[in-house]
A = this chain, B = another copy of it.
Amino acid sequence: MLLERIVSEGLAHYSYLVGDRNLALVIDPRRDVDDYIKMAAASGMRIAHILETHRNEDYFIGSMELATRTGAEVWHADRQWDYQYGHAVADGQRWKVGRLEIEAISTPGHTPGSMSYLLRDPAGIAWMLFCGDALFAGEVGRIDLLGADQAAENAGLLYESIFSRILPLGDEVILCPAHGSGSVCGEAIAERLWTSVGIEKKHNPRLQAKSKEQFVASLQTSHPGRPPYFRRMEKVNLEGRPLLGAQPSPLPLDARSFWQLSLSQNAQILDTRQELAFSAAHVPGSQSIWLDGLASFAGWFLGYDRPILLVGEGNQADRVAAILLRLGFDNISGFLAGGMLSWHMSGQQSQSIRTQIVQDLCRQIDGGEPVWILDVRFAGELDKDGRIEGAQHIPITAISERMDEVPQDRDVAIFCGSGMRSMVAASYLRARGWKRLSVVLGGMAGWRSIKCPLR
C-alpha cells in the first residue's frame, strides 16, 4: 500500500499518491510529474486515475501531462466549466485502487463545483478525506477568488459543505487538504502537518462560528489578494496544454550574451539569491525574489508576455525553472553562468541597494530623522506582530499598483517580517527609478527582539 504526500514547497501545495496492489491514483498533480511516475513504478503500480478537487488557480495542474505519460484517466471537479479534456466527476462516484475505495463527495464553496474524496481502507473504514481547498488545518478555503460579488454565496456553500458533508464523516477521519501553511489559498493555515476532522471541528477558528451567518460574515475580511497569474492558471487548467516531456534545463549564458539577450528580448531579469547578496550587487533592472519565496511571489512580479533571464547562486537554475514551470512560466531564455562573480569579472556594471540593521533604524527614529518607513507586510501581520509608529503600509502584493505613494525624494526604509519581502519590493522600486531606498534587515522579528518602540 502506498500513501504519499508530495509537497511543492513555496506553493505549500500538497498532492497525493494513493495506491494498492498494482493500481494507483493521484490527487491534484503538479505539472512536473516525474515524481509520481517514479514512485508508482517503484512500487509496481500503474497510475490509473487522476482526481482533481477543483479547477486550480494557483498552479498549473499536471493532469494532462501525467495522463499522457501514463494513460491514466483525468477526472475534473467543477463540471460547470468547459474542460477540453478528461471527464467530469459526479457526487458519489467511486473508484477502486486495489483493495482501497475512494468516493467523490461534493463540497462546493471554494469553487462552485469543488469535490472532496473519501478514502476507505481495505476493511471499508472511512479513513482519510482529501478535501482540496475546502478545509485546511486551522482555516477554510478562500471564497473570494471568483470575485467579490460571489463571495457571500460561495461562503454559504462552503458552510454547508463543511458542516453537512465533512464534519458528519466523524471526528476520527484524517484530513488531507491541498495546501499547508504558507499557501495563498488560505489566509492563516496552521502548521499542523497532519490533522483530522475532529481537530478541526474543535479547534479551527472558522468552525467555531455559531451560525451560518456568522461563518459567512467571518469570511468577508481582507484576503492576501489575488495574484494576476491566477487568471492565466484558471484558463490553462481548463484547456490542458502542450506537453513537457523532459523538463528543459535553462541555457547557461556568459555575461555579455546575457546582457545582449536582456536588451534584444526585452527580457525580465529574475534574481533568486538571498537578499544580502542581492543588496550588495545585482544586474541593473533585475527583480529580486529569493528562492524560497519564488512560488509565492513570481505570480505578482513576473509577466507571461516577456522572456525570463535568471541570476542565482551556484546551480540553482534547474530548481528555479521547476518552480516557474509549475506556475506556467515556460519562457526562460537562460541563466547567468558563473553568477555575479563572472558578471563583475567581465567588467559589467552592477547596482546595489542599501541595507541597514534595525538598531540603525531605531537610532534614526529616536534621533528624530525624517525617515519614511514603508511596511510591506500583509494586513494580518500588523495586528498580530505589531506596527511601527509612523510607518506607511502598502502590502507587498499591492506595490505595483500603489508605488506612486512612495516618495522618490526622501530616504525610504523598507520593512517586512524579516527583510526578504522588503528586498522584493525594493528591487521593484529600484528598477523603476527609486534611488533612496534601504532595506531593514531582520524586519519586525529583529525589531521586536531589540524592543524598539512598537505602536
Which of chain B's residues have a CB closer than 8 A to the CB of A347?
358-359, 442, 445-450
A-side interface size class: 35 or more
Closest Cβ–Cβ distance, residue A228 to chain B (whole Å):
28
Q: A203 near B: Cβ within 8 Å?
A: yes
Q: Are A1 and B193 in contact (CB under 8 A)?
A: yes
Q: Are B121 and A345 in contact (CB under 8 A)?
A: no
Known: A22-B252, A45-B252, A277-B276. A123 touches B170 (CB 8 A): no
Q: Are B174 and A201 in contact (CB under 8 A)?
A: no
Q: Are B194 and A174 in contact (CB under 8 A)?
A: yes
Q: A441 near B: Cβ within 8 Å?
A: yes
Pairs of residues from A and B, 10 with the lowest C-beta to C-beta distance, nearest first: A245-B245, A172-B198, A347-B449, A344-B442, A44-B337, A345-B445, A171-B171, A347-B450, A276-B280, A277-B277
Chain A interface (Cβ within 8 Å of chain B)? 1, 3, 21-22, 34, 37-38, 40-42, 44-46, 69-71, 121-123, 125, 127-128, 138, 170-174, 190-199, 201-203, 243-254, 273-277, 279-281, 313, 315, 317-318, 337-341, 343-347, 349-350, 352, 355, 357-359, 418-420, 441-443, 445-450
Could you give 26 example pairs across A and B, Cβ below 8 Å? A1-B193, A22-B253, A41-B249, A44-B338, A46-B253, A69-B249, A71-B251, A125-B203, A127-B192, A172-B197, A172-B201, A173-B198, A196-B196, A198-B198, A244-B245, A276-B276, A276-B281, A281-B441, A313-B313, A341-B419, A343-B442, A344-B419, A344-B441, A345-B449, A347-B358, A347-B442
Q: Apart from A44-B338, A69-B249, A174-B194, what 20 extra A-B contacts exist at CB < 8 Å?
A: A22-B252, A38-B249, A41-B317, A46-B251, A125-B203, A128-B194, A170-B202, A172-B199, A173-B198, A196-B196, A243-B245, A244-B245, A244-B246, A245-B246, A246-B247, A274-B277, A276-B280, A346-B442, A347-B450, A349-B357
